[in-house]
Amino acid sequence: MDLWECPALVTGAASGLGAETARQLAEAGAKVTVVDIDAEGVQKVASEIGALAIHCDVADAVSAEKAVAEARERNGAARVLVHCVGRGHFEPIIGDNGPMRLEDFRRLVDVNLISTFNMMRLVAADMAHLTPMTNGERGVILLTGSVSAYEGQIGEAAYAASKGGVISLILPAARELGPLGIRVVGIAPGLFGTQTLFDIEKNLDSRLARQIPFPHRFGDPAEFAMLAIHVLHNVMINGSVLRLDGGYHR
Ligand SMILES: NC(=O)c1ccc[n+]([C@@H]2O[C@H](COP(=O)([O-])OP(=O)(O)OC[C@H]3O[C@@H](n4cnc5c(N)ncnc54)[C@H](O)[C@@H]3O)[C@@H](O)[C@H]2O)c1
């Protein structure tokens, strides 16, 4: 995908991996729309990188439809979706006060999984009507999983389940949308120094970083963005989930 003047939508862009990916997309010349539930945060990122900011709860059908329509009107229908919305959650199934609240599980699935399917379906419907580029490509949908989907730890059953759903939809979505020239790819980050990690790991210390074979540190959002940009450029990457974790397996 040629990113120059390419309409690109980045969700979860007020912070962390999404904010940095939006920044690198803007540097590559894309017409970037940044979307987040944090209205002030997303406006700040948009002003810094010269993007369009949209306040939206991407887990909500109506809110997301409005956001995609506004982005289409102002920047053109997106050829790129980078969906970085997500939330960490660390809680045992049975805690000191009894079972985990079902409502908390539902909300986590809403934010991590429902939001992913919601944005994918809306953006793919627009992409299907775009003129193919010279290589036949119409668009790229890049979704964010987690290594916890494969190797979730005690206290991560709910979070791992919400991310497992994201990982599972990537291949069938790529199979369905491939004939339309739309690629679907996932990145499964390991430990990156952002709010999601701080939500899951209350006691962040160097011991945790030392468990990463190399480098012995948390990932930098710029390293996630670098891979995201490569995936967008490289038309052969499709239907797969790429781990980005420094060899970390818990
Ligand atoms: N940081 C890590 O170590 C790590 C590891 C594995 C996976 N991930 C995944 O990477 C993605 C990005 O996380 P991050 O680390 O940048 O976290 P982050 O907390 O810095 O960013 C997440 C953003 O999503 C936004 N958001 C949350 N709910 C929303 C909603 N309903 N609608 C719109 N926006 C919403 C937040 O306001 C925030 O700006 C998430 O899916 C996360 O699960 C992160």
Q: Is residue 19 part of a domain?
A: yes
pLDDT digits (tens, 9 = 90+) for 64-87: 999 999 999 999 999 999 999 999
Q: In the annotation, is 159 catalytic? A: yes
Q: Is residue 65 part of a domain?
A: yes
Closest approach atom of ligand 1 to CA 14: 39
- Is the predicted pLDDT of residue 161 greater than 80, yes or no? yes
Predicted local distance difference test score (pLDDT) of residue 202: 60
For the chain, give the percent of residues with pLDDT over 90.
91
Q: Find, among 133, 130, 138, 158, the residue nearest to 146 by Cα.
A: 158
36 close to 12: Cβ distance less than 8 angstroms: yes
Domain that holds residue 17: 7-244
Q: What are the tokens at 105?
A: 């599980």
Predicted local distance difference test score (pLDDT) of residue 41: 98
Q: Is residue 160 part of a domain?
A: yes
Predicted local distance difference test score (pLDDT) of residue 204: 66
Q: What's the gap in Å between 68 CA and the centre of ligand 1?
A: 19
Tally of domains within the chain? 1
Predicted local distance difference test score (pLDDT) of residue 194: 87
Q: What's the gap in Å between 16 CA and the centre of ligand 1?
A: 7
Q: Is residue 2 part of a domain?
A: no
Mean pLDDT of 191-201: 79
93 close to 160: Cβ distance less than 8 angstroms: no
Q: Is residue 21 part of a domain?
A: yes
Mean pLDDT of the chain: 96
pLDDT digits (tens, 9 = 90+) for 131-145: 999 999 999 999 999
Radius of gyration of the chain (CA): 17
pLDDT digits (tens, 9 = 90+) for 224-243: 999 999 999 999 999 999 99
- Is the predicted pLDDT of residue 206 greater than 90, yes or no? no
Predicted local distance difference test score (pLDDT) of residue 126: 98
Q: Which residue's CA lies nearest to atom 7 of ligand 1?
A: 146
Inter-residue long-range contacts of 212-215, CB under 8 Å, 24+ positions, other chains counted: 212/245, 212/246, 212/247, 212/248, 213/246, 213/247, 213/248, 214/246, 214/247, 215/246
Predicted local distance difference test score (pLDDT) of residue 198: 74
Amino acid in the structure at residue 128:
A
With 0.95 as the threshold, say if the pTM is over it.
yes
The CATH number covering residue 170 comes to 3.40.50.720
Q: Is residue 1 part of a domain?
A: no
Q: Is residue 250 part of a domain?
A: no
Question: 17 CB under 6 A from ligand 1?
Answer: yes
